[in-house]
Structure 1
Amino acid sequence: MKFWRVLVSVMLLAAIGAAGAAAWWLNRPLPLSADTVEVDIELGTAPRDIAQAWVQAGVQTSWLLLYEWFRWSGQARKIRAGSYEIGPGTTPISLLNKMVRGDETLAVVRLIDGWTFRQFRGELAKADSLKPTTSGMSDTQVMAALGEPGVSAEGRFYPDTYAYSKGSSDLAVLKRAHRAMKKRLEAAWAERATDTPLRSIDEALALASIVEKETGVPADRGKVAGVFVNRLRIGMPLQTDPSVIYGLGESFDGNLRKRDLLADTPYNTYLRAGLPPTPISMPGKASLMAAVRPDPTRALYFVSRGDGTSEFSESLAAHNRAVNQYQRGK
């Protein structure tokens, strides 16, 4: 009987010791081969393979210990797919919690107000760890993939900073930007002035895209929109250089010449009345609101003062004087 008591005591002490060692290991920071260690976990990856992936990536411990911890915790099957990054101080407990929460490492891409869709796509192509799903698609095919076949891509994506999981598709980011623009545009259209000459939500987007390109400082935005709205009301050509430049496409060399203003493209607002057939850029929220609720003004003209601000005029004679003063130095 004494032997069995001793044996039970020894086994109990061993269990306590093992438990203490396990507790010590679980709460001890994992040694890393670098300042940060990253692992991408795909959907359906087995817990054993996840443990091995962390060790191969630079976690300096036994993959078997990690795997047994995942399994013993009862949460191994709750680990979520995604991109994860850990740094100094990460313990086996905090590592597992991070994966169970789906606390992924996110990258960001910034899409700027006033960019064209071509610029948007160029930025997405350079974005960190973003799969180029649309790289072989035309703009038309991209819009079809977004459920809007036949709709021009220009102006249909909201400029903002978008966070995404590493390994995400560029199409997923475009979907979010597309939804965001729809939401912003519909909200702006719902607040439009009752006397607006704009006949549709698409016209509002086209005008907002011009306002975005023509505004040098935020304080002038509502007045710039007011000038174009006044012109639309009286049937006066919009005569906006950014629209002409957009129509020239990649042939534009950065210097707008007289011959360019005479080039008959659908976007030449010197030769053609009304709004261009599509937006010419991706407008932000402020430009959307300015287009539908412009500042009250009688001005029909404006010219840059050279410091980002604009000089507004109600008559052509006053405008010509402003041009001479600010553009020609007379």
Structure 2
Amino acid sequence: MKRLFLRLLIVLFAAAALVAGAGWWYAHRPLALAADAVDFTVPRGVAMRQAASLIERAGVDVDARLLSLLARIGGRAHRIKAGSYEVHAGITPWQLILKLSDGDVTQGELLLVEGWTFRQVRQALESHPDLEADIAGLSDTEILSRIGAREKHPEGLFFPDTYLFDKRSGALAVLKRAHGAMQARLERAWAARDPASPLASPYEALILASIIEKETGRPEDRGLVASVFSNRLRIGMRLQTDPAVIYGLGPEFDGRLRRVHLETDHPWNTYIRAGLPPTPIAMPGEAALRAAVQPDKSDFLYFVSRGDGSSEFSRSLAEHNRAVNKFIRNGGGG
């Protein structure tokens, strides 16, 4: 009887070793892929068995049942993370399970550029191949509501930066991050503002920063450009900034600013209306935000482009007119 029991133990041990060996072989055997790289997305709330089936259908030659079983044996079946993944030739079932449980997702990238308008931001989001266009068909007001923004107008509310995201993420999620980033930077800038600033609120600072962003050709001139507009606001002089007028003309603007444009009234025509326009005109970067609330100290009231990106600053209209004549009235600003 003892001998029979011993033989049974040996058989069971051998069978277990065989199963373990087969499992090890399966876990570390490179999987065949339908292409050199295969992309797939694991939705939130999906169990390991369902995820394995999705991976199999995406073009990874893996048995969904075996992969799910291996994940359970390895204690990782309940640790898989949602997101978009990319696998390459040579990956093994166990490496695939580790990728899923570690959340080693592929990321997309979106660059929001300083000086862009919200129309350009929308175009970039809706055309991005790795983003779900969940803003398509929504009005600007609806978008602001969806991301929890309190503002009524979207212009200038999003911080220009490079944003990384899980592929197949929604555009709204990226916008919400960009809105939060701008709010945080605006709050910091406003807290550090010059006590002599003529600005009455953080939103006014955002408006002025957007004008500075569009008017500055070279970074070293930014503080003086900001001083010109701050000085004008302080004495009640009209800002007379071309980019604001152009913004108010909308997408119909053909690239050439004419006198009739300067004489046509609209909320962003700072040649006709005093003070700041009602909204920002673009996305300002952090340097423009800082310049808006901490401008250089100067008594300049005018500036004009020299044609090389830099600006010529003047204290009086007579000086400014001479500068304009010298630099051939090339529409530089001020």
Kindly indicate whether the alpha-carbon contact (under 8 Å) linking 2:109 and 2:164 is maintained by their aligned counterparts in 1. yes
C-alpha displacement of 1:3: 5.1
How high is the TM-score relative to the length of structure 2?
A: 0.92
Establish whether residue 223 from structure 1 lines up as the match of residue 224 from structure 2.
yes
C-alpha displacement of 1:184: 0.6
Kindly indicate whether the alpha-carbon contact (under 8 Å) linking 1:55 and 1:61 is maintained by their aligned counterparts in 2. yes
Structure 1: distance between partners of 2:145 and 2:16: 63
C-alpha displacement of 1:241: 0.2
Structure 2: distance between partners of 1:92 and 1:81: 18
C-alpha displacement of 1:149: 5.2
Establish whether residue 275 from structure 1 lines up as the match of residue 276 from structure 2.
yes
Change (3 A) 1:228 1:32: same
Counterpart amino acid of residue 172 in structure 1: A
What corresponds to 2:59 in structure 1?
58
Counterpart of 1:67 in 2: which secondary structure?
helix
What corresponds to 1:32 in structure 2?
33
Q: How does 1:175-214 map to 2 (within 5 A)?
A: 175-214=176-215
Kindly indicate whether the alpha-carbon contact (under 8 Å) linking 1:154 and 1:281 is maintained by their aligned counterparts in 2. yes
Q: How does 1:313-328 map to 2 (within 5 A)?
A: 313-327=314-328
C-alpha displacement of 1:7: 4.5
The farther-off stretch of 254-263 and 92-101 is 92-101
What corresponds to 1:114 in structure 2?
115
Structure 2: which 5+ runs fail to align? none
Kindly indicate whether the alpha-carbon contact (under 8 Å) linking 1:210 and 1:279 is maintained by their aligned counterparts in 2. yes
The farther-off stretch of 161-170 and 220-229 is 161-170
Kindly indicate whether the alpha-carbon contact (under 8 Å) linking 1:141 and 1:149 is maintained by their aligned counterparts in 2. no
Kindly indicate whether the alpha-carbon contact (under 8 Å) linking 2:159 and 2:283 is maintained by their aligned counterparts in 1. yes
Deviating 4+ runs (over 4 angstroms) = 1-4
Counterpart of 1:76 in 2: which secondary structure?
coil
| Percent of aligned pairs sharing the same letter | 54
Structure 2: distance between partners of 1:209 and 1:328: 23
Counterpart amino acid of residue 271 in structure 1: I
Establish whether residue 296 from structure 1 lines up as the match of residue 297 from structure 2.
yes
Structure 1: distance between partners of 2:291 and 2:251: 29
C-alpha displacement of 1:237: 0.9
Q: How many residues align?
A: 329
C-alpha displacement of 1:277: 1.0
Kindly indicate whether the alpha-carbon contact (under 8 Å) linking 1:51 and 1:66 is maintained by their aligned counterparts in 2. yes
The farther-off stretch of 60-69 and 231-240 is 60-69
Establish whether residue 163 from structure 1 lines up as the match of residue 164 from structure 2.
yes
C-alpha displacement of 1:216: 0.7
Counterpart of 1:78 in 2: which secondary structure?
coil
Change (3 A) 1:152 1:79: same
How high is the TM-score relative to the length of structure 1?
A: 0.94
Establish whether residue 254 from structure 1 lines up as the match of residue 255 from structure 2.
yes
Q: CA RMSD in A?
A: 1.8
Structure 1: distance between partners of 2:151 and 2:291: 27
Counterpart of 1:77 in 2: which secondary structure?
coil
Counterpart of 2:169 in 1: which secondary structure?
coil
C-alpha displacement of 1:6: 4.0
C-alpha displacement of 1:319: 1.6
Counterpart amino acid of residue 267 in structure 1: W
Structure 1: distance between partners of 2:230 and 2:261: 24
Counterpart amino acid of residue 219 in structure 1: E
